[in-house]
Amino acid sequence: MVTQVTSFTRNGVSDWLVQRITAVVVAIYSVVLVAYLLFQPAVTYQQWSDLFSQTWMQVFTLMTLLATCAHAWIGMWTVGTDYLRVHTVGESANALRFIFQLGCMLVFVVYLIWGIKILWGNG
């Protein structure tokens, strides 16, 4: 049976809100990056590295990474609980959905740690 224990906040209202707010964060970040690249079409490694060594950019990027993961988790959780059910894929649905959710979680954690390493690594 599909249950909600693995949903992001276990509450439809907050899941819904989180998904909207994180979407806005990701959208603003994308606009900022695209605008930057438009104004600096021939960006050098030095400029790029300087941009990402500023604290505001690091915080903004980390926020966006976290927002992306939360947003994607809610989205993938919804996709999983819509399509991976006994009805559609048979008796193994619960196990399949669990593996699917585990896979998503793994990808998000990797992205997050990798992102943090890039941001605060030594270039």
- Residues lying near other proteins in the complex (CB under 8 A): 1-2, 4, 7, 10-17, 81-83, 85, 87-88
What is the smallest separation between the CB atom of 26 and other proteins, expressed in angstroms? 20
Task: Give, in order, the Cα–Cα distances in Å from 17 to each of 70, 73, 74, 79, 84.
Answer: 11, 14, 11, 18, 24
Q: State the number of CA atoms in the 13 A half-sphere of 1 facing the CB.
A: 3
What is the smallest separation between the CB atom of 39 and other proteins, expressed in angstroms? 37
Nearest CB to other proteins, comparing residues 44 and 88: 88
Nearest CB to other proteins, comparing residues 20 and 117: 20
Nearest CB to other proteins, comparing residues 50 and 82: 82
Concatenate the DSSP letters of all residues of 64-108 into one string. HHHHHHHHHHHHHHHHHHHHSSHHHH-TTHHHHHHHHHHHHHHHH
What is the smallest separation between the CB atom of 76 and other proteins, expressed in angstroms? 13
